[in-house]
Chains A and B, each alone.
Chain A
Amino acid sequence: MLRRPRLGKALAAALALLAWQAAAMALGQELLLVAPSKVALRLLVLAGEAGFWKTVLSSFARIISGFLLALAAGSLLAAAAGRLKAVETLLWPWVITIKSVPVASFIILCLIWLSSRQLPVFIAFLMVFPVVYSNLLEGIKSADPKLLEMAKLFRVPLLRRVKYIYLPHLRPFILSACGVGLGLAWKAGVTAEIIGIPAGSIGERLYEAKVYLDTADLFAWTVVIVLVSVAFEKAFVRLLTLLMGGRR
């Protein structure tokens, strides 16, 4: 039963690759659409270059720093807002603004205040923070009031309430926020790198690919982003599930 959906997904991916290959061959213009086989070859060449892993690691560190900062700040402020309505009200204009302002506007504005190395960290933070905050606040608000009443009657200390009542209830909200947040962090973080062009970043390599019309490089670096993003999301979600008692 477990293998069937995986097999289905693998077949779908293989079909998509075939369609891509066929389209590239039919078009016959690498500048417009490079074939997946050529992208794979270019990726192999890139992976062997001296600066490749350093570039991947520096972008990874910046984007994941922003994500983790947002996770911490979003969790703490959601906990505070869940306890005090005044905090929720005070945060409301900030959250609604961050949610609705286009990411490009933030990047251009923040480029004036921050260095090009700090920019992806802050932009990733900005995109992930409202997702974590809103998800967790919704989770906190929907915690079972009868269990909370029970805890109140028995005078259960806050830490134990968090461990036994809030965390099991919040598990799906946290996992969902992390899944969505990581995707957003990579998209927004790389966009910030393309505009800010910090030296030795994936964004810089994508910018160069655009300037030199190097479509194979553009596709190869995009594949790198997808692979690193998906691999980290899977590892992080698995780690969180373990830490929060996923067995249960």
Chain B
Amino acid sequence: MDIRIRSLYKYYGDKRVLEDFSATFREKSSVCLMGPSGCGKTTLLGILMGLVKYDAGLVEGVPPRKSAVFQEDRLCEDFTAAENIRLVTGKRAPEAVIAEQLSLLGLGASLSIPVREYSGGMKRRVAIARAMLAGGDIYFLDEPFKGLDAENRRKAAEYIREHTVGKTLVAVTHDEAEAALLGGEIIKMGGSV
């Protein structure tokens, strides 16, 4: 089922963040939302994830099984990367699989230390692995490559593409090169109102 957004409005106090926004995201396709800061990209993602309430409009067709890379890493800092992944997967993902997937993202040597001791880029990769291993019918990625160098960005994009084949993917980015790495349709959102 396609995701249909019609005449969406969202205010934070007096500030209008989304005004009469409409779009259709085709099922099992990739969409990249682009636009300047404050234009409502993250808010729109939050609404689609079901975490932010909107003031007016219509949103339908969002699958119930969702996965996400949030704008912040949102990791449990006291736990290891594998434990952070097990938090969302439970026993569905065996330990060996988690370790293998983290190794694919270049984290194989840091499996036993809490993520508190990771660099920003390493934490980002854990957040990406967590989202991909959690699985779902739709993936939301909010600036997924934030803090990654060019090589890790390329690796992470390839990793994401492999895991989201045949799934709906909605990503947010400022950067056209990052949008190109993820592929799919680009939707440009306007400036803040």
Chain A residues at the B interface, C-beta cutoff of 8 Å: 146-147, 149-154, 156-157, 160, 164-165, 168, 245, 248
Task: Tell me how far the C-beta of A117 lies from the nearest C-beta in chain B, rounded to whole angstroms.
Answer: 43
B165 CB to closest chain A CB (Å) equals: 21
CA distance A160 to B84 in the complex (A): 11
Q: How far is the CB of B43 from chain A (nearest CB, A)?
A: 14
Partner of A147, one of B68, B74, B90: B74
What is the CA–CA distance of A160 and B76 in the complex, to the nearest angstrom? Answer: 12
B74 touches A164 (CB 8 A): no
- Mostly, the B contact residues are mixed
Q: Would A146 and B88 be within 8 Å (CB), given that A154-B67, A164-B79 are in contact? A: no
Tell which of A146, A157, A168, A245 touches B74, judged by Cβ atoms closer than 8 Å: A146
Residue total for B at the interface (Cβ-Cβ under 8 A): 19
Contact indicator B87/A245 (Cβ below 8 Å) = no
The distance from the CB of B65 to the nearest CB of chain A, in whole angstroms, is 8
Whether the Cβ atoms of A164 and B51 lie closer than 8 Å is no
Chain B residues in contact with chain A, CB under 8 A? Answer: 49-51, 66-68, 70, 72, 74, 76, 78-79, 83-84, 87-88, 90, 114, 134
Interface SS of chain A: helix
Contacting pair B76 A147 (CB below 8 A): yes
Q: With A153-B66, A154-B67 given, is the CB distance from A245 to B78 under 8 Å?
A: yes
Residues B49 and A153 in contact, CB atoms below 8 Å apart: yes
| Residue contact B72 to A146, C-beta cutoff 8 Å | yes
Q: Which residue of A lies closest to B130 (CB)?
A: A154
